[in-house]
Amino acid sequence: MGKKAIDSRIPALIRNAAQEHKRGFFVVVGDRQKDVIVNLHYILQTANLKANKSVLWAYKNKLLGFTSHRKKREQKIKKEIKRGIRDVDSEDPFELFVSTQNIRYVYYKETEKILGNTYGMCILQDFEAITPNLLARTIETVEGGGLVVMLLKGMSSLKQLYTLSMDIHSRYRTEAHGDVVARFNERFILSLGSCDSCLVIDDEMNVLPISGGKTIQQLPPPDPEAQGQTPAARELATIKE
């Protein structure tokens, strides 16, 4: 990905989420998603230095073109250097990300193991394997002010979601009823357009028109005196003035 100015709505959503202690939601469309993940995580960490830095990465059965095993990654790098396809001094931002960050990798079928844990960022890949229950289970582990990042690899448009065959559909197909209507897919896409804390972006970090948060603007800095107060306490303080 070439260097370019990031759309101001992207850091605005992340910083607003941190300021309001709400989760921010990003859907990334395209095949070059690794740089996007690194950039979003960097913005998240700079938006709130005290934020939970741990990452949950949930997937079906194969990671996004890399291994979670550190030694295997090191062996792969050595082989690439030996073959002359990687510079000895070069630093891959994504390789640095997976090597230095506290990332918990989990299969969707084993997500019950993460219940009770809290993460600052959740990455969801393999949309076809997701069910409403899995979506809720993984998102609930993200702290307020954290990020949920859904990766739609192999898609150039959200329209492709309408025809995407979900894994769970195989349970309902019969000889008499071979076609299953993707109601979850339809409702999910509609929800993206109505969620003001969601941005749908491509792998070059362009904001797509369907984004519910496409009109987002960064909030003014919080009043230091009001920080830590409940809404009722702030209202009472206003009355007393």
Q: What is the CATH number of the domain that holds 202?
A: 3.40.50
Does residue 33 fall inside a structural domain?
yes
Does residue 2 fall inside a structural domain?
no
Region 130-145 average pLDDT: 92
Q: How far apart are CA 27 and CA 122, in angstroms?
A: 12
pLDDT at 119: 97
Does residue 116 fall inside a structural domain?
yes
pLDDT at 62: 84
Does residue 4 fall inside a structural domain?
no
Q: Which of 10-14, 74-78, 216-220 has the lowest mean pLDDT?
A: 74-78
Torsion of CA 232, 236, 239, 241, to 10 degrees: -130
Count up the domains in the chain and report the number: 1
**3-class DSSP state for residue 123?**
strand
Contacts of 108 (CB under 8 A, 6+ apart): 58, 59, 60, 126, 129, 130, 134
Range of the domain at 148: 9-240
pLDDT at 141: 96
Radius of gyration of the chain (CA): 20
Q: Which of 19-28, 57-66, 107-116 has the lowest mean pLDDT?
A: 57-66
Does residue 135 fall inside a structural domain?
yes
Does residue 194 fall inside a structural domain?
yes
* Token pair belonging to 80: 């690439």
